[in-house]
Structure 1
Amino acid sequence: MPSGQSDPAFSADEIERVRSLHLAKKQRACLISLLLLLAPLASCRRRDFPQYPADYREYAYVTSGGSNTVTVLDLVNLRQDRVIRVGDNPTGLAANPVKNEIYAVNTNSSSVSVIDAQKNAVVATIPVHSKPYFIDLDARGERGYVANSGSNNVSVIDLTRRREIALIGAGEGPGMARISPDGKSLVVTNRTSGSVTVVDPQTYKVRSVFTGCPAATYAVILPDSSKAFVACSGGHQVMVVGLARTDSPIAIEHADRLLTFLDVGQTPVHLALKPDGGEIFVSNFDSDTISEIATQANEVGGAYLVGAHPASAVVSADNSTLWISKFNTGSIEVYSIDDGKTINTVHVGDGPDALAFSAEGHLLLVADARSNDVAVVRVMSRTPGGINRVGTLFTLLPAGKQPNDIVVKAFHVR
């Protein structure tokens, strides 16, 4: 415009229309920028997470001993669903393999809370005996077995009628009662007396007692129900027990028998069994190592230094990787079983302990006992460059005080 000439006058309506057009243009630009920012996140979620049908539900249940609650985490939407009040100091958990029910053991209330997984509410409370800690279920989801450490016995629970139907005497301070996959042997670890009791679950009678396992705690049974392995946490050994099989062509296998003691690291606290049953990985809490046991040969293949205080471990469904919680380092070690080496370290919350995979195995859930949360770890993810990466922290979800066990239940609503 030539100098000395004034701008033409605009009416009030024209000025308002120009302002509106300018504002709309800015809003469109902001919206486009926001969409461009969110697009990678959206594509990442579609690429790395399963797509579920509308009727699919999957929850993780976490006992929190310090707040007398069970926290329910929605694994479809990755958020806390609700917090359920149960008994005093809930510890062990089990998910029914047939029904949509979860069972939480209340140590200081001497009871078991039954949670309906569709309603996510307590629907029954079953009295047991003094100081229970763990519960195990048979393969048909009909019976529950609770070792009562304060009363030196095991409660047998009818899960349909929701009541105790038998009481079996055990050794001193029983910590765990583990039922075999074929339902023919019940293995009880007696921490105080340092012994293992084997029970006939059909007659509720003790078949055998084996001593010499100081602070017997964790136990696993092979998929074919032929052997039990028990961590002697007060020392540095694992007890191996052959379980009676009356249909075996070998006469010696018709009775329970002590097979051997295997030397591992100091203070073995947890046993992780490969899904195929071929190997067991022992968490040696005070040796900072993992020992590898070949289950058919009853031999220790070696020990691997993993970091301060391995507390728990779990093997992936394809038998390829071992995931180890290191209690005093706030991290998870990812160990390649086939390669025999560590492939990643994932930092999580404080005091990682109990571990569980999601139903499809794409997430690992870690109960952080000191920071009162659950770490959600992607088992497999991809970098922006398209490179696969094993183990990355996705998020932390709140739990109650002192989370100490975790189980997962997936189902379709009716």
Structure 2
Amino acid sequence: MLISLLFMVTISLDTVISHPQMVAPKSVYISPDGKTAYVNNLEGMNTLIFDVVTRKVKGVIKHIGKPVESCFSEGGRYVWISYYRLIGKGYPPCPNWREYKIPSVVAVYDTVKKALVRKVKVGVIPKIIEASPDGKYVFVSNWNSHSVTVVDAETFEVKEEIKVGWVPRGVAFTNDSRFAYVVNMGGFTISKIDVDSLKAVKVISKAVGNRPRHIVATPDSNYMLFSCHGDGYIRKLDIKADSIIDKVKVGHQPRTITLDPSGRYLFVVNYKSNSVSIVDVDLMTEVAEEKTGLKPVGCDLTPDGGELWVTDYSSGSIHIYKIQY
């Protein structure tokens, strides 16, 4: 257990979960009611559904593609799952992702019907999926299309494809759903999208850092925080000024990030350091670091902020930590 007396936050390992069908777990998403965790297994080509309290598998979603990331809509009824690429006839393997050119889909799982009910055609190598806070849209970043696909969250129809920077990944909305920010890993830039017009209206390039990967908004929407996979920093963007105002060094190759409900603490998984860091957002200081399994890549907090689930890509496991503030 690691305790920061100055910052009054503790992180301690509670349990480690493994499962025969958990192969290369890429991401984990905890439902808005805090009862269910969805773990996307890239090479296992499934999503394991866990009961958060018992930590037992209560369902399996089988896929025809490699599941990467997820988001929720309609209060958690629908789980959206991006397929890195489809598998099967007509979808040949491609060892070099930079050369892959075949569009993929986002699958939609209905938690009431307990079935996949839609497959929405998107771009090439879709990654992050993010629902707008007002529930109107779902945005999907497409690595090799260098675009964001906009889907109507109610009808599941594609409304627009917005060209952004090179190799986009992370997407985050302001809390009023007026703007979305997209971090472009390949271009070292951030694209700002006007959600009303569905157009990219600005490119932020100064001091963005090396390979920005994942981005989240603070609860007050004054700031965006994003991880830079290439240089090991978390950076803070002032939304009013659209400029980078601070940064803090964490572990090697920080990937997924998530904020506690208050917005005070940011949790960061460090892929090459095999660790999770906690950053005080107000002071932009790393206040704790705890070991994980091998190559942690995904993480999510329960809605009350009391548990952190981390997917260990190479260990094929989940580390669950207790968090106290």
Same fold flag (TM > 0.5)? yes
In the alignment, the residues of structure 2 paired with residue 298 and residue 367 of structure 1 have an alpha-carbon distance, to the nearest angstrom, of 32
Question: 2:76 — aligned with what?
Answer: 141
| Residue pair 2:214, 2:257 contacting (<8 A) in 1 also | yes
CA displacement at 1:354 relative to structure 2: 3.9
Aligned positions of 1:304-383 closer than 5 A: 304-306=248-250, 308-329=252-273, 333-340=277-284, 342=285, 344-346=287-289, 348-349=291-292, 351=295, 353-357=297-301, 360-361=304-305, 374=319, 376=321
Question: TM-score, with normalisation over the residues of structure 1?
Answer: 0.61
Task: Report SS of the residue matched to 1:271.
Answer: strand
1:194 equivalent among 146, 161, 177: 146
What stretches of structure 1 of length at least 5 have no aligned partner? Answer: 1-47, 51-72, 245-254, 381-414
2:198 equivalent among 256, 269, 273: 256
CA displacement at 1:109 relative to structure 2: 4.6
1:216 equivalent among 164, 168, 173: 168
Question: 1:277 — aligned with what?
Answer: 221
CA displacement at 1:142 relative to structure 2: 1.1
Aligned positions of 1:88-237 closer than 5 A: 88-98=23-33, 100-117=35-52, 120-151=55-86, 152-237=104-189
Q: 1:273 to 1:300 in 2, by over 3 A?
A: same
| Residue pair 1:129, 1:155 contacting (<8 A) in 2 also | no
Task: Report SS of the residue matched to 1:150.
Answer: strand
| Residue pair 1:128, 1:164 contacting (<8 A) in 2 also | no
**Higher relative contact order (Cα pairs below 8 Å, separated by 6+ residues):** 2
Aligned positions of 1:55-66 closer than 5 A: none
| Residue pair 2:295, 2:314 contacting (<8 A) in 1 also | yes
In the alignment, the residues of structure 2 paired with residue 351 and residue 320 of structure 1 have an alpha-carbon distance, to the nearest angstrom, of 26
| Residue pair 1:89, 1:106 contacting (<8 A) in 2 also | yes
Indicate the RMSD between aligned Cα atoms, in angstroms: 3.4
Question: TM-score, with normalisation over the residues of structure 2?
Answer: 0.76
Q: 1:315 to 1:116 in 2, by over 3 A?
A: closer
Q: Percent identity at matched positions?
A: 20
Query: 1:228-272 CA deviation, whole Å, 9 max, x = no partner?
Result: 22221112112221213xxxxxxxxxx312121222111111213
CA displacement at 1:120 relative to structure 2: 4.5
Question: 1:393 — aligned with what?
Answer: none
Task: Report SS of the residue matched to 1:140.
Answer: helix
In the alignment, the residues of structure 1 paired with residue 322 and residue 38 of structure 2 have an alpha-carbon distance, to the nearest angstrom, of 25
Amino acid at match of 1:374: H
Amino acid at match of 1:209: E
CA displacement at 1:364 relative to structure 2: 5.5
Q: 1:194 to 1:114 in 2, by over 3 A?
A: same
In the alignment, the residues of structure 2 paired with residue 343 and residue 127 of structure 1 have an alpha-carbon distance, to the nearest angstrom, of 38
In the alignment, the residues of structure 2 paired with residue 106 and residue 347 of structure 1 have an alpha-carbon distance, to the nearest angstrom, of 23
| Greater helix share, structure number | 1
CA displacement at 1:357 relative to structure 2: 4.3
In the alignment, the residues of structure 1 paired with residue 190 and residue 66 of structure 2 have an alpha-carbon distance, to the nearest angstrom, of 25
When the two structures are aligned, how many residues end up with a matched partner?
296
Q: Which moved more, 1:102-111 or 1:330-339?
A: 330-339
